[in-house]
C-alpha cells in the first residue's frame, strides 16, 4: 500500500525542499477535494432526501460544483506529476475558491462560516503561490464576498439554520484553518532549512570555484589563462550571469584594464585593450576608486551604468573590488539580463568570490616575482661562478708564469734525489717517465719496473702543477689507500711550502732591489753638480749590473747623427 501511495503521490522529481513541500500540499488538497466531493455527492441530501445527482434537474449548482471538484483535483494531480507545480497550485486555488463560491453566493453569504471559508482562500493562495497567491486569493475573496452580498436582494435570510449543519460547517472551517496554519508553520521551517541549504550550497560552490582557481595557479598556468577560466566558470556556475569579466589596475594606478572576459564579446574587448579610468563615472571606475561593491541597473537614475555597445542586453551590472588588505588591485564585473539578479543576500557571496580571486592573483604575482628573483639570483650565481673560474684560471696562468720566471732566474729546474739505500743526495734534474706522466695527467701514477714499484705524485700550487715527486718502493711491499692519500697530502703541502718559499725569495729580491735603488738615489742626491751626478750614476750602475762601460748623454742628438742613422 505504501508503495502504491508513494508512486501516486511522488515528489522525488523535485530537487528543492520547498518545491517538494508545495507538491505534497497540492497532492493533499487534490486528494482531500476528491474525497470531500465524493462524500458531499453521496451523503448530502436535501429536505426531500434527494442526493446531488437526483437534484440535478431542479438544482444543478451542486452537481456542477462536484464535477468541477472532480476534474480540478485530477488535473492538479496530473500537473504535479508533470512538474508543472505553479500551474497545479493555481488550478487547486481556483478549484477551492469556486467550490466555496457557489454555495456562498447562492446563499448570499448569510452564514458566518462562509466568511471564514473565504478567508482560507487568501491563506491558501499565500501558501501555494506566495506573493502572487496573496494578490489572487485576496481578489477572489473580495469578489466572492461582493457577489454574495449583492445576491441578498434575491435570497431572503434563513429563519434559522440547522444546528448540526452549522456545527459541521464551523468544524470543517476550523479544521481547515488549523491545517493551513500547520502547513504555514511547516512551510516556514522548510523555508529556513532550504535557505540554509542554499547558503551552504553557495558557499560550497564558491569554495570549489576558489579551489579550482588556486589549483590552476599552483599548476603554473599563465595568469591570463587562469583568469579567463575563472570568469568562464563563474558564468557556468551562476546561470543568471551571462557575461563576466575581470579588470586589473595598471602600474600607473590611473586605469583599470580588462584582462579576462567571457565569450566572443570578451575577446573583442580585450583585443581593443578596453580600459576605464579609476574614479570615472562608470561601475568599474567607482568600484576601483571607492573600494565598495556597486549594483547598477540599466535605466536607473544614478547614472553609473554605462551601456556597452557589445553588451546591449545587460539589465543589471554588479562589480566587486578585488582587495588585498587595504589595496585595490582591480574589480570583478558581472552582468545579467534579468533585472531581479543580485539581491542584498547575494552581495557577500560574490564579494567573497572577488576576494578569493584577488588573493589568487596576488599569490600568482608573488610567485612570479619570486621566480623572477630566483632566476636573477641563479644568473648572478652563474656569473659569479664564471668570474671565479676565470679568476682561478688567471691565477693559475699567473702562477705558471711566475714559476717559469722564477725557475728561469734561478737556473732552470730545481731537483733533488735522495737514495736511502746508499745514503746519497744528488741534484740531477733528469725527468723519469713516471714524473712526466704525473705532471701531464695532474694525478698520481704507478709503474711496475723490475722488482720496484714507482709512484709519482704531482706538486700543485693553486691547482697549477709546478712539479712532481717520485717514490720507489719494494714491489712486495704493501701500499694501502691511506698511505697513498698520505703521499698526496704531503704533495699538496709540499707545493704550498714551495710557493711560500718562492714568495719569500721574491719578496727578498724585491726588497734588495728597492734597497739598491734607494742607495743609488742617495748617492745621486749627494752630488753637487751635473757632472758629478752623472758620474755617480754611472759608477752605481756599473757596480750593480757589472757593466764594463756606461755612457750617459744629456741634450738632443745633432741632426747629422740622425741623418746618418736614417741613411
Are 186 and 285 in the same domain? no
Are 44 and 178 in the same domain? yes
Task: Please count the other Cβ atoms lying within 10 Å of the Cβ belonging to residue 163.
Answer: 8
Cell of 241: 550571469
Are 271 and 316 in the same domain? yes
Mean pLDDT within 314-331: 90
Are 468 and 533 in the same domain? no
CATH code (residue 291): 3.30.450.40
Cell of 15: 530537487
Q: Residue 207: inside a domain, yes or no?
A: no
Cell of 558: 745633432
**pLDDT value at 159 more than 60:** no
Cell of 233: 566558470
Domain boundary among 341, 371, 401: 371
Are 147 and 241 in the same domain? no
* CA angle (160, 104, 161) in 5-degree steps: 10
Question: In 175-315, which ranges are E strands?
Answer: 243-249, 255-261, 275-277, 294-297
Q: What is the pLDDT of residue 37?
A: 74
**Contact in structure between 523 and 540 (CB atoms under 8 Å):** yes
Q: Residue 47: inside a domain, yes or no?
A: yes
Q: Residue 387: inside a domain, yes or no?
A: no
Q: Residue 409: inside a domain, yes or no?
A: no
Which position has the grid cell 506566495?
130
364, containing H or E segment:
helix 347-409
Q: Report the chain's mean pLDDT, rounded to a whole number.
A: 77
Phi, psi at residue 278, to the nearest 5°? -65, 125
Are 460 and 552 in the same domain? no
Q: Residue 179: inside a domain, yes or no?
A: yes
Q: What is the pLDDT of residue 334?
A: 92
- pLDDT tens digits for range 377-435: 999 999 988 988 888 888 777 877 877 777 777 666 677 777 777 777 877 777 888 88
pLDDT higher at 541 or 378: 378
Which position has the grid cell 513541500?
21
Rounded-to-integer distance, Cα 180 and Cα 140, Å: 18
Question: In 215-305, which ranges are E strands?
Answer: 243-249, 255-261, 275-277, 294-297
Are 253 and 142 in the same domain? no
Q: How many residues does the chain have?
A: 567
Give the dihedral of Cα atoms 122, 127, 128, 134; nearest 10 deg: 40
Q: Residue 249: inside a domain, yes or no?
A: yes
Domain boundary among 455, 471, 503: 503
Are 10 and 117 in the same domain? yes
Q: Containing domain of residue 73, as a range?
A: 2-155+166-196
Rounded-to-integer distance, Cα 462 and Cα 470, Å: 21
Helix, strand, or coil (residue 472): strand
Domain boundary among 371, 386, 406: 371
**pLDDT value at 316 more than 70:** yes
Are 228 and 130 in the same domain? no
Are 84 and 186 in the same domain? yes
Number of domains the chain contains: 4
Share of the chain above pLDDT 70, in %: 76
- pLDDT tens digits for range 342-389: 877 778 878 888 888 888 888 878 888 888 899 999 999 999 889 888
Mean pLDDT within 119-130: 77
Mean pLDDT within 286-312: 77
**pLDDT value at 187 more than 70:** no
Burial class, 96, CB count within 10 angstroms (exposed 0-12 / middle 13-18 / buried 19+) = buried
Q: What is the pLDDT of residue 332?
A: 93
Rounded-to-integer distance, Cα 227 and Cα 217, Å: 10
Q: Residue 404: inside a domain, yes or no?
A: no
Cell of 394: 688567471
Are 130 and 254 in the same domain? no
Q: Residue 348: inside a domain, yes or no?
A: yes
512, containing H or E segment:
helix 481-526
Out of 62-76, 228-242, 480-494, least confident range? 62-76
Q: pLDDT grade, residue 244 (50/70/90)? A: very high
Q: pLDDT grade, residue 216 (50/70/90)? A: low
Burial 3-31 (b: 16+ CB within 10 A, else e): eeeeeebebeebeebbbbbbbbbbbebbb
Rounded-to-integer distance, Cα 538 and Cα 550, Å: 6
Cell of 429: 734534474
Are 491 and 541 in the same domain? no
Amino acid at each position: 500500500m505504501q508503495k502504491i501511495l508513494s508512486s501516486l503521490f511522488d515528489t522525488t522529481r523535485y530537487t528543492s525542499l520547498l518545491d517538494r513541500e508545495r507538491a505534497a500540499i497540492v497532492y493533499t488538497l487534490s486528494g482531500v477535494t476528491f474525497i470531500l466531493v465524493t462524500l458531499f455527492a453521496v451523503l448530502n441530501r436535501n429536505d426531500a432526501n434527494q442526493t446531488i445527482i437526483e437534484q440535478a434537474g431542479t438544482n444543478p449548482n451542486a452537481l456542477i460544483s462536484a464535477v468541477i471538484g472532480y476534474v480540478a483535483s485530477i488535473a492538479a494531480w496530473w500537473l504535479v506529476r508533470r512538474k508543472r507545480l505553479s500551474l497545479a497550485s493555481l488550478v487547486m486555488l481556483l478549484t477551492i475558491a469556486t467550490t466555496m463560491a457557489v454555495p456562498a453566493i447562492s446563499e448570499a453569504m448569510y452564514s458566518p462560516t462562509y466568511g471564514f471559508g473565504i478567508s482560507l482562500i487568501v491563506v491558501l493562495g499565500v501558501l501555494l503561490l506566495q506573493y502572487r497567491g496573496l494578490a489572487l486569493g485576496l481578489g477572489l475573496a473580495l469578489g466572492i464576498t461582493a457577489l454574495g452580498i449583492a445576491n441578498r436582494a434575491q435570497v431572503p435570510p434563513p429563519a434559522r439554520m440547522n444546528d448540526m449543519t452549522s456545527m459541521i460547517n464551523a468544524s470543517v472551517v476550523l479544521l481547515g484553518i488549523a491545517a493551513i496554519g500547520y502547513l504555514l508553520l511547516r512551510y516556514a521551517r522548510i523555508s529556513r532549512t532550504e535557505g540554509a541549504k542554499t547558503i551552504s550550497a553557495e558557499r560550497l560552490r564558491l569554495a570549489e570555484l576558489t579551489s579550482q582557481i588556486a589549483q590552476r595557479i599552483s599548476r603554473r598556468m599563465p595568469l591570463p589563462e587562469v583568469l579567463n577560466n575563472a570568469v568562464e566558470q563563474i558564468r557556468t556556475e551562476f546561470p543568471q550571469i551571462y557575461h563576466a569579466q575581470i579588470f586589473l589596475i595598471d602600474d600607473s594606478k590611473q586605469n583599470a584594464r580588462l584582462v579576462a572576459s567571457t565569450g566572443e564579446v570578451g575577446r573583442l574587448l580585450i583585443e581593443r585593450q578596453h580600459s576605464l579610468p579609476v574614479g570615472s563615472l562608470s561601475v568599474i571606475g567607482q568600484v576601483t576608486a571607492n573600494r565598495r561593491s556597486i549594483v547598477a541597473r540599466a535605466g536607473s537614475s544614478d547614472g553609473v551604468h554605462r551601456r556597452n555597445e557589445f553588451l546591449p542586453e545587460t539589465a543589471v551590472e554588479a562589480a566587486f573590488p578585488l582587495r588585498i588588505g587595504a589595496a585595490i588591485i582591480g574589480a570583478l564585473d558581472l552582468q545579467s539580463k534579468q533585472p531581479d539578479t543580485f539581491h542584498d543576500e547575494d552581495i557577500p557571496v560574490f564579494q567573497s568570490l572577488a576576494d578569493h580571486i584577488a588573493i589568487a592573483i596576488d599569490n600568482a604575482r608573488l610567485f612570479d616575482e619570486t621566480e623572477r628573483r630566483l632566476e636573477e639570483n641563479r644568473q648572478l650565481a652563474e656569473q659569479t661562478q664564471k668570474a671565479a673560474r676565470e679568476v682561478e684560471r688567471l691565477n693559475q696562468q699567473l702562477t705558471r708564469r711566475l714559476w717559469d720566471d722564477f725557475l728561469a732566474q734561478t737556473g732552470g729546474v730545481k731537483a733533488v734525489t735522495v737514495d736511502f739505500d746508499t745514503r746519497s743526495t744528488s741534484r740531477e734534474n733528469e725527468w723519469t717517465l713516471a714524473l712526466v706522466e704525473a705532471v701531464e695527467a695532474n694525478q698520481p701514477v704507478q709503474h711496475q719496473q723490475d722488482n720496484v714499484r714507482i709512484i709519482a705524485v704531482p706538486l700543485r700550487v693553486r691547482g697549477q702543477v709546478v712539479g712532481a715527486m717520485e717514490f720507489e718502493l719494494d714491489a712486495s711491499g704493501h701500499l694501502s689507500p691511506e698511505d697513498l692519500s698520505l703521499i698526496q697530502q704531503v704533495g699538496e703541502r709540499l707545493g704550498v711550502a714551495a710557493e711560500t718559499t718562492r714568495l719569500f725569495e721574491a719578496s727578498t729580491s724585491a726588497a734588495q732591489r728597492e734597497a739598491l735603488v734607494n742607495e743609488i738615489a742617495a748617492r745621486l742626491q749627494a752630488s753637487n753638480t751635473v757632472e758629478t751626478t752623472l758620474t755617480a750614476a754611472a759608477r752605481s750602475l756599473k757596480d750593480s749590473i757589472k757593466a764594463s762601460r756606461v755612457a750617459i748623454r744629456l741634450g738632443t742628438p745633432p741632426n747629422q747623427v740622425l741623418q746618418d742613422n736614417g741613411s
